[in-house]
Amino acid sequence: MRWQRALLALLKERKDHSIALAIDTSNRPERPMLIQNIVKLFEKLRPDTLLVQADFKIRDVSPVGVATIQYFKHGKSSYTEVLEWAAAQKIDTLFYITDVTGYFYEELQVDYEVFWLVPDDYMPRVPFGKPIRVA
């Protein structure tokens, strides 16, 4: 329950920030209800959140309340396109639900906050930003 309070506090503290929620859709997660509950939390607290669904490319960007999440089975994931999209959209804080096994161009400049929401018991090292285990 600690991660729920932490996420709730982060969203409340950033009430004046532009935020986005990205989901790595390269594999079906072990806990799909957990992902749905996180999306519902964003929908309730920040209905203005854009939900970005991506694997090796962005598949969909839509308001968090209307999106239907679609997962793929190929296992390839790249964070580059989502990180570039967030910079172009002037997102202040990006929350990214992923197992952190994807890749990105190392030359990429990330000048905004990134929180990696990891729905797994294993917490890998993140390349930048802050990891939050949501399992």
Give the residues across from 23 on adjacent strands. 53, 97
Whether 128 contacts 110, CB under 8 Å:
yes
Render pLDDT for 104-119 as a digit per residue (tens, 0 to 9): 887 888 999 999 999 8
Q: pTM of this prediction?
A: 0.93
Report strand pairing: 93-97 vs 58-63. Answer: unpaired
- The per-residue pLDDT for 92 is 98
Q: Structural domains in the chain?
A: 1-133 (3.40.50)
Render pLDDT for 26-63 as a digit per residue (tens, 0 to 9): 988 778 899 999 999 999 999 999 999 999 999 999 99
